[in-house]
Amino acid sequence: MRVLSVTSECAPLVKTGGLADVAGALPGALAQQGVQMRVLLPGYPAVMAALADAAEVARYDDLFGGPARLLSGTAHGLELMVIDAPHLYDRPGGPYLAPNGQDWPDNPERFAALSWVAAEVAAHGAGGWRPQVLHGHDWQAGLMTEYLQATGVRDVRTVLTIHNIAFHGTTGADRIASLRLDPWRFHSGAYEYWGAVSALKAGLLGADALTTVSPRYAEELMMPEFGMGLDGVMRDRRASLTGILNGIDTGIWDPATDPLIRSYGAARGKAPNKAALREEFGLPQAEGPLCVIVSRMTHQKGLDLVLEALPVLLEHGGQLALLGSGESGLEQGFRVLAEQQPQVAVRIGYDEALSHRMMAGADAILVPSRFEPCGLTQLYALRYGTLPLVALTGGLADTVINASPAALARGVATGIQFAPVTADSLRNAFVTLCKLFKDQKTWSRMQRNAMAQPVGWDLSAQAYAQLYDRLIGQE
């Protein structure tokens, strides 16, 4: 099978979150299922610098404001198709934000171009290669179904994966012409959303199949409190929606061989890594669990609840080391807390190697998200025997077995879940965490359970391959 993955980011080339990890891991995982997946990416500077063996396979005289080329090549073991359009992508900053932290004003056109090129490759092929399936990711690929329909091609199937429905990719109706959209399709059954253009809604209604990144999140998307205004659309597409749990690259995230941690090897255990992590963060010895947070600092991630509830953890001898960045109010709140509390240490920013050392050295990881489509940090943590304390939502609910009395009696628990997602509930979870930590026999059993959990891509890749196969087999 030939599949073109249409994505705005892909690890390790360009990454702002879990979408990049998924886009980077899927091609290799699917190759084991007989699927040839190429990745279509914008030609950001980092992508262009990494592209090897590049060959021009298509040329566009006017790609949303300027000339462009489509290049085919490889980078980091990935087969890539890269849109070389300097007027759209050759810029400083991240894939979406200018250096001043604001969205690029032409983001609608920048990612419409990504979708438009995807449809062109599907319709006409490029470099002698033509996909049977277009697999788009989030709103940045949402318009591919509109453009593909306009070509008249009907033998290419489409899949849209929702990584986070909170981002709709909306823009004003005054851009319909500049986005090359059919004005007659500006209605509630296509890309119109409350008088605006919604790239995500276009994809949700136009794709042959929809997936999201955990079974529970698939259910939650049909609820008003999680559907972000598109729950009605999701209910209408219920029959086409599948929740396929994300996985992680167990070759990169392997405590026995991880070169990014200081003291590694399965025989050495967690103790030397924990001591090294405390030293790195300047934390003293403590009787309670060493907890970590590796996260974007946003309201979605529930970190304001941690600020409220953390005194309970500290009172029970616990510690916190945080790595992340995001909303200025949360950053400042944790900075102040670290200045006041010697058992709290904070690093603002992101450091991939440090995140590995935190997984290896911590006793527990905190993921108190108000909603979480899948989450990857709890999967990394499970792999390293770092027990997740998570909110009962989305993929967190699907991947962590709560330390309930029944699960503890059966010896299957892998972490702690809490609900509702409030500061009081988190306080209770901290008390449970500290009690479990004192029972080293139970704690050790939970660590062994965590490390035995299947967190790789094998089962998920098989599910995607079966979905593609079903779609291709349809008349």
Annotated binding site: 15
CA–CA dist 223, 209 (Å, integer): 19
Q: What separation in angstroms does the CA of 55 have from each of 41, 51, 331?
A: 15, 10, 44
Dihedral, 353, 294, 91, 115 alpha carbons, nearest 10: 110
CA–CA dist 311, 13 (Å, integer): 39
DSSP three-state, residue 53:
strand
CA end-to-end span of the chain: 16
Burial zone of 262 (CB within 10 Å; 0-12 exposed, 13-18 middle, 19+ buried): middle
Residues contributing to the annotated binding site for ADP-alpha-D-glucose: 15
- Spatial contact of 167 and 226, defined as CB atoms under 8 Å apart: no
Nearby residues of 209 by Cβ (< 8 Å), 6 or more positions away: 157, 158, 159, 160, 240, 242, 467, 471
Burial zone of 307 (CB within 10 Å; 0-12 exposed, 13-18 middle, 19+ buried): middle
According to DSSP, the residues that pair with 133 across neighbouring strands are 3, 157
Q: Number of C-alpha atoms within 13 angstroms, CB side, residue 283? A: 32
Kindly provide the residue ranges of all beta strands, DSSP E only, lying in 141-298, ordered along the sequence.
Answer: 157-162, 170-172, 192-193, 196-198, 209-212, 241-243, 290-297
